[in-house]
């Protein structure tokens, strides 16, 4: 198992966090997604490291952006 932390920009409520959690949770191998709404940090636990492009696409599908992209 591996855990990676990403910063998501634009989340303002629990619904926002839920959308990000749902989209990231659909990625292959993801077992847990923890969202800290106050900081925008998202911890993703998966069986193997995730591709940055896959994470970015999932966050964008939820309607948000990764910081720095």
For 5-46, the pLDDT digits (tens) are 999 999 999 999 999 999 999 999 999 999 999 999 999 999
pLDDT of 49 strictly over 80: yes
What band does 68 get if pLDDT is binned at 50, 70 and 90? confident
Its sign, for the CA torsion 42, 37, 67, 69, is positive
pLDDT of 56 strictly over 80: yes
pLDDT of 69 strictly over 90: no
- Residue 69 DSSP symbol: -
Helical residues (DSSP H) of 1-69, grouped into ranges: 14-25, 52-61
Distance (Å, rounded) from C-alpha 57 to C-alpha 10? Answer: 15
- Residue 50 DSSP symbol: P
On whether the pTM is more than 0.85, the answer is yes
Distance (Å, rounded) from C-alpha 12 to C-alpha 31? Answer: 24
């Amino acid at each position: 198992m591996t855990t990676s932390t990403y910063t998501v920009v634009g989340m303002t409520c629990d619904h926002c966090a839920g959308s990000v959690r749902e989209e990231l949770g659909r990625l292959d191998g993801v077992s847990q997604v923890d969202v800290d709404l106050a900081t925008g940090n998202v911890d993703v636990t998966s069986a193997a490291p995730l591709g940055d492009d896959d994470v970015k696409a999932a966050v964008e599908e939820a309607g948000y952006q990764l910081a720095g992209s």
